[in-house]
Amino acid sequence: MDNITFLGKQLKNPLVLASGILGNNAKILERVHKAGCGLVTLKSIGPAPRDGHRNPTVIDLGGGMINAVGLPTPGYDHMDAEWQALADRDFPVNASIYGGSVAEFVKVAQFVSDQGPDFIEINISCPNSDHHGMLFGVDEKAAFAVTNAVKKVISVPLIAKLTPAAPDIGKIAKVCEDAGADAICAINTAGPGMVIDIEARTPVLAFKKGGLSGPMIKPVAVRCVYDIYRAVSIPIIGLGGVTTGEDAVEMFMAGATLVGMGSAVRYRGIHVFDLVYRELTDWLAAHHFTRDDIIGAAHNPIAGPDSTAKKSRKTP
């Protein structure tokens, strides 16, 4: 399972660091790579400096987390030191970007593409901001427009990150594929949800509502990846609640080509990538499967190495 190819780039394994988790600077990204992660994703970069929301912004609910960090960013053109530090890296990087309009997405995408990331991921799915949120990811026309416009100005593969809030996530994924996306990433946080402090009679998060992540959303994420796999032929990065090797197997069986983790870093530490990689390879060996055998396997009800569903798909 070592050294796989994804959209023409070499990755040491199929595990991905989700955006917004330890993705703020080059040094930490390097540590995550060394801790066993195949592809690291930067925290979403926006068009202008932005503080994000007041604390509290993240609460651990036990079976997962709720957050409304609010897309804090130094702004795409205030990151010289980070771009320089990333320029000489020896590991692949996925740069996540956001904007409040198609024009803003295009401006950020063009600049970021010139900094040499291996992939650009458009975050059209964040539930935690009034103006930079999931609006593009729940509307087919808007999803097409932003994907199409960004695709025209970048020179690296384009990944569209989708929200489970879409009424039909398969349709949104198909529209992104038609508009030129090279891969789909699913899912961003679910919800939004709310937690109320009953003694203070007030929502706990300063922003009141927040996105859900971690184990509690895994069934939603698996369903979304399953729906997307049926709708598109481009590869899928499946994430949402994955914490163990068996969770990763489930995500591959739903149709993921790569599997991402975010909240799992909170639950198992930075070495979760190494741990999950080992659990995954052990599971595959014990079942005499390769990763290719299990990708999309849940779309064929008959289990077994010779009977896995293999649709005609573009080579990742």
- Least separation in angstroms between residue 268's CB and ligand FMN is 11
* C-alpha span between 179 and 195 (Å, rounded): 38
- Which of 11, 15, 16, 65 contacts ligand FMN by CB under 6 A? 65
By CB under 6 A, name the one of 161, 236, 248, 250 that touches ligand FMN.
161
Among 115, 147, 257, 263, binds ligand FMN (CB under 6 A): 263
Binding residue (CB under 6 A) for ligand FMN from 239, 248, 284, 294: 239
Clarify whether 176 is annotated catalytic: no
**Minimum Å distance from CB 159 to ligand FMN?**
10
CA 124 to chain centre: 11
Residue from 39, 88, 54 nearest 256 by CA:
39
Contact between 214 and ligand FMN per CB under 6 A = yes
Under 8 Å between Cβ of 73 and 49: yes
Q: Among residues 242 and 256, whose Cβ is nearest to ligand FMN?
A: 242
Q: Which amino acid is at 237?
A: I
d(CA 97, CA 47): 9
Kindly identify the residues of this chain, within the stretch 116-155, that bind ligand FMN according to CB under 6 A.
123, 126
Among positions 13, 113, 163, 213, the unique one binding ligand FMN when judged by CB under 6 A: 213
Letters for 162-201 (x = contact with ligand FMN by CB under 6 A, - = none) are --------------------------xx------------
Q: Examine residue 257 and tell whether it contacts ligand FMN (CB under 6 A).
A: no
* Side chain identity at residue 183, one-letter code: A
# binding residues, ligand FMN (CB under 6 A): 27
Q: Which of 38, 262, 296, 316 binds ligand FMN (CB under 6 A)?
A: 262
The tokens for 219 are: 């069934």
The residue with tokens 């983790």 is 261
- 199 HSE (CA, 13 A, CB side): 0
Residue from the set 4, 11, 16, 19 that interacts with ligand FMN by CB under 6 A = 19
Q: Where are the beta strands (DSSP E) in the chain?
A: 4-6, 9-11, 15-17, 40-41, 58-60, 65-67, 93-97, 119-123, 158-162, 183-186, 190-194, 196-197, 202-203, 209-213, 236-238, 258-261
Edge-to-edge strands, sheet with 58-60 = 58-60, 65-67, 209-213, 190-194
Q: For ligand FMN, which is the closer residue by CB, 242 or 253?
A: 242
| 215 preceded by a cis bond (ω within 30 of 0) | no
Q: The tokens 């914490």 sit on which residue?
A: 243
Q: Which residue is nearest to ligand FMN (CB)?
A: 20
* Degrees, nearest 5: CA angle 142-144-146: 70
Looking at beta carbons only, is 274 or 300 nearer to ligand FMN? 274
In this structure, the number of other CB atoms found within 10 A of the CB of residue 84 comes to 11
Site for ligand FMN in 44-63 (CB under 6 A): 44, 58
Please tell me which residue in 37, 126, 176, 224 is annotated as part of the active site: 126
Least distance (Å) between residue 243 CB and ligand FMN: 8
Q: Are 309 and 296 in contact (CB under 8 A)?
A: yes
Tell me how far the alpha carbon of residue 264 is from its chain's centroid: 13
Would you count residue 217 as binding ligand FMN (CB under 6 A)? yes
Binding site for ligand FMN (CB under 6 A): 18-20, 43-44, 58, 65, 67, 69, 71, 96, 123, 126, 161, 188-189, 213-214, 217, 239-242, 261-264
Q: So which residues are the catalytic ones?
A: 126
